[in-house]
Structure 1
Amino acid sequence: MARIIFDVGHPAHVHLFRGTARAMQAQGHDILFTALDREIILHLLQRYQLPYRVTYRRRKGRYALLAELLLRTLSTYRIARQFGADLFFSFGNPTVGVPARLMGKPYIALTDTEHATEQHALFKPLATVIATPDVFTVDMGPKQVRYNGYHELAFLHPDQFTPDPARLAAVGLKPGDPFFVVRFVAWRATHDVGQRGFTPDQKRALLDELRQHGRVLLSVEGDVPPEFAPYVTPFAPEDIHHLLADATLYVGEGGSMAAEAAVLGVPSIYVNSLVMGYIRDLQDHYGLLHWYTDGAAALEKVRELLAMSDLKPDYAERRARMLRDKINTTAWLVALGNRLLDNPQRSSASLHEG
C-alpha cells in the first residue's frame, strides 16, 4: 500500500484532511501529517491522534516569511524522503509542491480562496491536480478538477460529523439555551491589506445587542481589547464545531467559520469586504449565509433574524436542501487520491470523469 503525506499550515487544514487521512489509513495506506507549528495545529493533531512531524515553527521578523518558505520546504522534503511518500495532499503551497516535484510524486493541491493569487502563482506549476469547489470563480487551467461541495463538508457533512450536545456543559450551557458565536479577525494576512469588517463602534453595538438575547461566545484573533474580554470564553479547540452546531447565530469577519456555521444550518452573518465563491453560493442559492461589507447593515440583519419565531427549523430546511445538492468532500478526496495512486500520470480530465 501507499505512503501519503497531508501537509497542514493552518488549523482549518487539520479538519479538512483528517477524515481523508483516516479513511485512507483504514484502506491500508500509511499516513503522515507534516505540520507548521503555529496556533493550535499541534494540539488538534494530538487530540485527533494523527501521526505528525513538525516542519517549521512560525516566527516573526522582517524576513520571516521568506525564511519559512525556504526552511519549511527543505524540512518537508527531508521528512517526505525519510517517509518514502507516494502522494501529497495540502491546501495549495509550494513548500509541498517542491518536494513532490523533486521526488516525482503526485501532488493534490486544494484551494477555495480566489483572492490568494500569490499562493496560486507559487503552487500552480508544481501541482499534479488542483481541486476546487465547482463554485470557485477562478480558472486554474488544465490541472483544475472541480467538485460539487465545499471544504467545510469534508468534516461537517453528516457522514463525517455528529454534534455532541454534551460539549455545551464545558462552557456552562445546555441544549436549547440561546447563545451566539462571534469572531473578530486580526486583519494581518497578506490578502487582508485594505480590507475591512466591523468598526470598533459596530463591534460594541453588536455585542450589546446579542447579550440581551443570550450568551455571547466571542473569539478574537490576536490581542483581546479589555472591553471585550468578558465575552471571551475559553474552551477546547476541538469543541468548536459542537458548540457552533447548537448556536442561535454566528456573526463574524472570518469566512471559514461563517461557512462552517452555514453548512451546520446555523444562520451565518459574514462581515468582510472579501468574498469567495463558496460564500456567494451559500448565500445566493441556499440563504444559509448573509454577506455584508458594512457592519451597520449586518447589525440590522442580526435584529431581523432574532425576531424570527421559526429561525432554527427554517434554517434546518435550508441546510437539508443544500445537503441534497452537495457531496461528502472527504469521500470525493479519498476516491481522487486512490485514482492518482493507481495511475499517477492520469490527466485531470480523466480524474474529473472518475
Structure 2
Amino acid sequence: MKGLRLRVWVDVNTPKQVRFFKPVVEELEARGLEVLVTARRFREVEQLARLVGLSYVPVGVYGGPGLEDKLRRSLSRALKLLKVVRGWRPEVALSFSSPEAARVAYGLGVPHLCVNDSPHAEAAARLTVPLSAKLFAPKCVPLEEWTRYGISAGDVVQYDAVDPAAWLKRLPPLEVERERLIVVRAMEAYASYVRGGRVDVAVEAARRLVGEAPGFKVVVLARYWSQVVELRRRLKGALIPTRAVDGVDLLSRSCLFIGGGGTMTWEAALLGTPAISCAPVDGVYVEDYMASLGLVRKARAVEEVVEEALRVLSSPERWVDEQRRRAREALEAMEDPAEVVASFIESTASRPSSGTA
C-alpha cells in the first residue's frame, strides 16, 4: 500500500451493489482512504443511491435486454469510464463483477478486486474473474466454481456470510410492527443467465394471492420501467410502486416475501420475514445455504408458491416470530462482508496487474 491515502475506485451497476458498497465505502473512508464511486444510469440504481446517500459519478447507461445493445453500451461505458478514472489515477479498482470496470482497470494496470456471489451468471464471471487480482465471495460457494473461470484458489477471499449481511449487520435492532403486507419481487427478466420465455412465477403467484389472500395487501416490486407498465396493466388489486423503495423498511414491516431473484430474498429472510424463493435458475449456492438454515423456502411452480404462502398467511404472527429467531441467530454468526473487503484493501499493498491488454 502506498500510504493511508490509497485511491480506491468503486464501480456500481445494480441496486444490490448500491446497498453492498455503501458500507464498504464508509469503511474505506473511515480508514483514511480516498474513494471514487462510479455508477451507470439505471432507474433503481440512481433512486436507491439517493435513498441511502451514496454519492457517485454517473457513467454510461444500462444495456437493456438485447445482446447487441448490451455490447454496444458496455463498450461505450468502458471508454467513458476510462476518461473518468484515468485522470483520477486509482491504485485499486473494486466492483461486483463489472465487465467495464474489470477491463478498464486491467488495461490501465490497476489491480481489480472483484466481489461475486453468483457463479451461475457465467457471462459476468467470464468477463471479470480472470482479470481480477482477488475475488471476494461467500464461503458457501465452492472454490471450484470460481477456479473454473481462471482464478487460482489462493486468490479467492471467502467470507462466512451472505451479501446482505454487509448492510444488515449495521442496522440497530428493528422493533417494527408487522403489517398485513405480502411483498413480491419480479423475476430478473433481462439477465444473460435467464432464458427467454420463462414464466414469472413470483408475479403469477402475486396475481393468485390478490384473490386468495383477502385482508392482505400485495406489493409487487418491478425491476424495469417496462415491468412497471406491464404489471400495472395485469395485476389489478396489487400495489406496483413506480420508484425504488427502501427495501429494509418495507421488508421489516411485511409478513411474507416472495422473491423471483436472489438478494432481496436473502435480505427479507435475515430481517425476520418468511421468504419463499422462486428464482428462475437452479443450483444457486446461496439459496441452498439459506434453505439449509431454515431461512428460505424453495418453490419453483406457481401452485407450490401459492400453497406455501397461504400456509404462512394462515398464522403470520407465529411464522414471523420463528423467522425472527432464526434470522437473529444466523446474522449474529455471520461475518461482515464489508469489513472483510475494506480490511483487505487497507492491509494489502497495491500490486501491479499481471499485464495489460
Superposition TM-score tier, normalisation by shorter sequence = 0.7 to 0.9
Match of 2:313 in 1: 306
Instruction: Mark the CA change 1:259 to 1:176 in structure 2 (over 3 Å): closer, same or farther.
Output: closer
Count of residue pairs brought into register by the alignment: 334
Equivalent-residue separation in structure 1 for 2:206 and 2:253 (angstroms): 23
Q: Deviations over 1:85-126 (max 9, x none)?
A: 121111112211122223322211011112111221111221
The one-letter amino acid of 2:19's match is H
- Secondary structure of the structure 2 residue equivalent to 1:23: helix
The one-letter amino acid of 1:336's match is F
Equivalent-residue separation in structure 2 for 1:2 and 1:43 (angstroms): 29
Match of 1:287 in 2: 294
Within the alignment, does 1:66 sit opposite 2:74 as a pair?
no
Match of 1:144 in 2: 156
Q: Deviations over 1:201-225 (max 9, x none)?
A: 6442223223x14222222341324
- Secondary structure of the structure 1 residue equivalent to 2:246: helix
Within the alignment, does 1:278 sit opposite 2:258 as a pair?
no
Equivalent-residue separation in structure 2 for 1:162 and 1:136 (angstroms): 29
Deviation at 1:230, TM superposition (A): 3.5
Within the alignment, does 1:18 sit opposite 2:22 as a pair?
yes
Equivalent-residue separation in structure 2 for 1:230 and 1:187 (angstroms): 23
Equivalent-residue separation in structure 2 for 1:228 and 1:67 (angstroms): 34
The gaps in structure 2 that reach 5 residues or longer are none
Deviation at 1:58, TM superposition (A): 2.9
Q: TM-score, normalised by structure 1?
A: 0.86
Equivalent-residue separation in structure 2 for 1:109 and 1:94 (angstroms): 10
- Secondary structure of the structure 1 residue equivalent to 2:248: helix
The one-letter amino acid of 2:298's match is W
Q: Deviations over 1:38-89 (max 9, x none)?
A: 1222233334443321221235566211112211111112211122212111
Instruction: Mark the CA change 1:98 to 1:204 in structure 2 (over 3 Å): closer, same or farther.
Output: closer
The one-letter amino acid of 2:285's match is G
Higher mean alpha-carbon deviation, 175-184 vs 118-127, is at 175-184
Aligned pair partner of 1:325 in 320, 330, 333: 333
Match of 1:4 in 2: 8
Aligned pair partner of 1:76 in 74, 81, 94: 81
Within the alignment, does 1:198 sit opposite 2:198 as a pair?
no
Task: Determine if contact 1:197/1:293 at 8 Å carries over to the other structure.
Answer: no
Equivalent-residue separation in structure 2 for 1:304 and 1:11 (angstroms): 31
Match of 1:97 in 2: 102
Equivalent-residue separation in structure 2 for 1:94 and 1:184 (angstroms): 25
The gaps in structure 1 that reach 5 residues or longer are 166-174, 347-354
Aligned pair partner of 1:54 in 47, 55, 58: 58
Equivalent-residue separation in structure 2 for 1:90 and 1:44 (angstroms): 17
Equivalent-residue separation in structure 2 for 1:152 and 1:214 (angstroms): 27
Identical counterparts, % of pairs: 20
Aligned pair partner of 2:47 in 43, 60, 80: 43
The one-letter amino acid of 2:339's match is A
Q: Deviations over 1:160-194 (max 9, x none)?
A: 465585xxxxxxxxx34321111222523221115
Task: Determine if contact 1:32/1:50 at 8 Å carries over to the other structure.
Answer: no
Within the alignment, does 1:115 sit opposite 2:120 as a pair?
yes
Equivalent-residue separation in structure 2 for 1:66 and 1:116 (angstroms): 16
Match of 2:258 in 1: 251
Equivalent-residue separation in structure 1 for 2:117 and 2:76 (angstroms): 26
Deviation at 1:254, TM superposition (A): 2.0
Aligned pair partner of 1:214 in 203, 213, 216: 216
Task: Determine if contact 1:116/1:191 at 8 Å carries over to the other structure.
Answer: yes
Task: Determine if contact 2:188/2:261 at 8 Å carries over to the other structure.
Answer: no
- Kindly indicate whether structure 1 or structure 2 has the higher relative contact order, using CA contacts under 8 Å at least 6 residues apart: 2
Higher mean alpha-carbon deviation, 185-194 vs 77-86, is at 185-194
